[in-house]
Amino acid sequence: MAPRNWSRRLQALGISPRGDPMPLSGGDIAAVWALDTDRGRVVVKRDDASRLAGEAEGLRALQAAASSLIVPEVLGIDDDLLVMQALEPVSGGRQADRKLGEGLRQLHEARGETHGWEVDNACGPTPQDNTPCDDGRVFQRERRLLPLGRACAEKGLLDTATLEALTRVAEELETWLPNVRPSLVHGDLWSGNVLHTARGPAIIDPAVYRHYPEVDLAMLTLFGSPSAAFFEAYWDGDSPEDWPRRRTLFQLYPLLNHLLLFGGGYRGAVERAIDDLR
């Protein structure tokens, strides 16, 4: 069901609807519609106002940094409504994967001085603490792994032994993971948040912050994997020797988030990742 007074609210944003909104599938967290307007076809998303504000800020940050990736333009935001440019997907392929790899490498060249972000946002419905930190190992431990691990344990989804093992993994990051100058990352770059369009690869639904660039690569390979052409373009040479270990580390946070959101079906994957990192 469309939001109440949606037409009036869009017109207040300078957007004149032409027809009625059409529900889109896949809105597990937010309700989403497509709509024809005087500014072209748009997507209207309804969700918690603070989450939408974070998404809008993230889209603008990505658009400013990733000139070779397509990022939907934010056309307006009004409390619990976000209006964005609609993207028309087409089939991908080796060339599309290569362009995605090149574009993501360019995005990750946008660097900051501290890990985190200026404001908190959310990864799906889960609040994401982005309080800046000079050390990426500390950020990963204190803002990502341990808060999610404790939240899972409080819901009975992790037992004491597994939480203790996770804590040891988090406390030993300094023994193998170097600190780096952080990159801008999409933050939730699973395959469903990548679209191929006639103009090139596009990324949607961000949860941005600055951290290790492998955050995005790990998420892309968590529920599938792009082709070899993607990695050839992204690495532009050989991958780092410790890439498999970094991949496991940076998959642990989204696995914990899935465990928290969707339950015990993800417990085994969390336990295996912890075991691989010990």
What value does the mean pLDDT take over residues 172-189? Answer: 97
Confidence of residue 225 (pLDDT cuts 50, 70, 90): confident
Q: What is the pTM of this model?
A: 0.94
Which residue range is the domain that position 269 belongs to?
A: 94-277
Exposed e or buried b for every residue in 88-109, given b needs 16+ CB within 10 A?
eeeebeeebbbbbbbbbbebbe
- Mean pLDDT of the region 108-133: 96
Question: Based on the domain organization, do 81 and 144 belong to the same domain?
Answer: no
Does residue 27 have a pLDDT over 60? no
**How many degrees, rounded to 5, is the angle at CA 197 between CA 191 and CA 202?**
50
17 occurs within a structural domain: yes
- CATH number, domain at 30? 3.30.200.20
* Active-site residue, from 38, 97, 120, 188: 188
| One domain for residues 179 and 57 | no
Where does a domain end: 50, 85, 120? 85
188 is a catalytic site residue? yes
Residues 128 and 198 in one domain: yes
Question: Within this chain, do residues 107 and 234 fall inside the same structural domain, yes or no?
Answer: yes
Same domain (yes/no): 76, 104: no
Three-class secondary structure of residue 113 per DSSP: coil
Are 131 and 266 in the same domain?
Answer: yes
Q: Is residue 1 part of a domain?
A: no
Q: What pLDDT is recorded for position 62? A: 96
**Distance (Å, whole) CA 39 – CA 176:** 51
Average pLDDT over residues 241-252: 96
**Does residue 34 lie in a domain region?**
yes
In a domain, 72, yes or no: yes
pLDDT, one tens digit per residue, over 40-59 is 999 999 999 999 999 999 99
**How many domains, in total, are found in the chain?**
2
pLDDT tens sequence across 64-117: 998 789 999 999 999 999 999 999 989 878 889 999 999 999 999 999 999 999
Co-location of 81 and 98 in the same domain? no
